[in-house]
Structure 1
Amino acid sequence: MNITIVKYNAGNTRSVLCALHRLGYEATVSDDPAVLCAADRVVFPGVGEASTAMEYLKKTHLDEVLVALKQPFLGICLGMQLMCSHSEENDTTCLGMFDVPVLKFPPDTGEKIPHMGWNTIETKDDPLFSGLSENRWCYFVHSYYVPLCEETIASTEYASVCFSASLHRDNFWGCQFHPEKSGSVGEQILKNFLEAL
């Protein structure tokens, strides 16, 4: 299987590469449109800041390439947020695969921001979550969140906010948590992305 990880100026590519390797898969890291279009699966990782990431995507025209892809596509953390319409992080217009905004956690809940560490996810029926055990703990690191919407397929609560832990529309999936850092649950989710979609 031809798996490509999007190369841009935000990402946790090494963690994703290692997680895929543990599952027996190798991947290419590339920002070449031809390589991305030819891939069987595309992973869009993200650790960083929305406006600088979008600036790079626009400068390289990857913003146009990514939204036009037809194969299964998985955005992770900032990657999922960049797939939304707009982020409050530096007032950033994003890619728009999901017509929903990205909001900042309220500062006055008494909870520590960023939301960092393990939390449970409540999932809907979606092939991305096939075969998961009931003990669905995943690893999060984020200060911004996507509110619940029509495309929400998993949710999590933190700082008195119930938000989208995962999104799905057409060939696009997103995870706010890091499946590559989420132990056996994350490995099952990545395996489903590679084998069940």
Structure 2
Amino acid sequence: MLSPGTSNLGAGEPPDWARVEPLYTAHRPAARAAAVSILGPAHDVEDIIQEATVKAAQRIHTLRDAARARSWYLAIVSKQALDRWRQRARHHRRVVGSSLDQLAEELETGRNTVRVLPVEDYPDLRLAFEFIDTLPGKQRAAYLLRHYFGLDREAIAEVLGCGTATVSVHLFRAQAKADKEFR
């Protein structure tokens, strides 16, 4: 357990590992659960816990009430996980968003048709791609972004530059045509 006193550690002094180690040991499962609840079963959850533990060791002098140590530590872990989630989202928008914008534009203007596999060898797949190519531009883009790339309506709306309700309409109409074509 943490000792009840506080120290006068300054920002430039080393971390207080002696006070943080028992905190880490006692609450590691809860810290992991908190990070996983924010990030999902990501490969970097352990890194998040380590980074948060380092921050806790550097800031342990700010803990005034040892009875609140668990919530204090878990708040640091949660903040660290949320920061990583935001970092991923920014990276995803920057890297994937630009390529999805380009794909959506190409699909909308008809400069791109989807050919992932040699469709000649898969007659059903060829029919599916031919069907997708018959959809109007934004319906085709929304349908592919949802079913091929797995994007949610908000992300599709951002790519297509429209509202989520409009995306829902595009997806509904495309799905209705698919149901009619393949049933």
TM-score, normalised relative to structure 2 = 0.21
TM-score, normalised relative to structure 1 = 0.20
Bigger fraction of residues in helix:
2
Query: Which is higher, the Rg of structure 1 or of structure 2?
Result: 2
Bigger fraction of residues in strand:
1
**Structure ranking higher on relative contact order (CA contacts 8 Å, 6+ apart):** 1
